[in-house]
Amino acid sequence: MHFYVPGALIVPGDAAATASNIVTSEGLFRMGMATELVILLSEVGLSVLLYVLLRPVSRTLSLVAAVSRIVMTTIHGINLLNSSVVLLLLSGAGYLTVFAPNQLQALAMLFLDAYRYGFTIGIVFLALHASILGYLIFKSGYFPRALGALFVVASLGYLGDSFSHVLLPNHQTGAAYFAIPIAIAEIAFPLWLLFRGVNAEGWEKRTSAARVGSVAS
């Protein structure tokens, strides 16, 4: 939704053309919303999985990382209401005849812009998640330290991109100098989990040490 719709359907500065594109390709617009819902549901499971994997390093930091990612997921879920309003405004419902067509188109564009800002606000919490995740991976001993460093760099990209979007007029989210470290980190870590997995011996050692520390305290 966030990545496909802007390029395919939204015409910057042209509310009429954008509204026409969405009405003509309503199925694609709805499919984008459905896809984002599936991604958000998977984020909940991913948050729990990462918490369990990295809890032996630091229970507190792992919890903060998980909560911050779930906060992002919640914000993005609520943010989808903006897309729903766009569909309602362009639905042609009878009660909307009190508005002129150009007013409805302008309102639809307003809610599309609101969606963009809502997405950016959610990414701020993902930046917090990524920075803590990177630190935990770096310290874990059962994941490559390079992956942890990548996530720390990616978190700076998320943070820089988000605040630039809020502070700078006409900033284009996803500029290459922000997107490259983010893309590398988000691709490298899942691939590592898929093909190499967790170093079981290192994880068990960390888990045992955490249990001993918990008993001692």
The angle at the Cα of 107, spanning 105 to 111, to the nearest 5 degrees, equals 115
Q: What is the pLDDT of residue 107?
A: 97
Q: What is the pLDDT of residue 161?
A: 81
Mean pLDDT of the chain: 87
Q: How far apart are CA 23 and CA 57, in angstroms?
A: 50
Number of domains in the chain: 1
pLDDT at 73 over 70: yes
In this structure, what token pair is assigned to residue 54?
């990295």
Better-predicted residue by pLDDT, 188 or 54 = 54
74-109 confidence digits (pLDDT tens): 999 999 999 999 999 999 999 999 999 999 999 999
C-beta separation of 104 from 90 below 8 A: yes
Torsion of CA 162, 164, 167, 170, to 10 degrees: -110
Q: How far apart are CA 89 and CA 108, in angstroms?
A: 6
136-174 confidence digits (pLDDT tens): 999 998 899 999 999 998 888 888 888 887 887 776 665
The angle at the Cα of 210, spanning 205 to 215, to the nearest 5 degrees, equals 130
Q: How far apart are CA 182 and CA 158, in angstroms?
A: 7
Full domain range(s) for residue 97: 4-216
Q: State whether the Cα torsion 38-62-65-53 is positive or negative.
A: negative
Binning pLDDT at 50, 70 and 90, where does residue 3 land? low
H helices, E strands: number in the chain = 8, 0
Instruction: Match 């997921």 to its residue by tokens.
Output: 73
Alpha carbon of residue 69 to chain centroid: 8
Count CB-CB contacts under 10 A for residue 64.
15
Q: How far is CA 36 from CA 18, 77, 168, 178, 201, in A?
A: 20, 8, 27, 22, 36
Q: What is the pLDDT of residue 177?
A: 61
Q: Which of 57, 38, 72, 73 is nearest to 148 (CA)?
A: 57
Binning pLDDT at 50, 70 and 90, where does residue 188 land? confident
pLDDT at 2 over 60: no
Q: Which amino acid is at 194?
A: L
Q: What is the pLDDT of residue 138?
A: 94
Alpha carbon of residue 34 to chain centroid: 15
pLDDT at 202 over 90: no
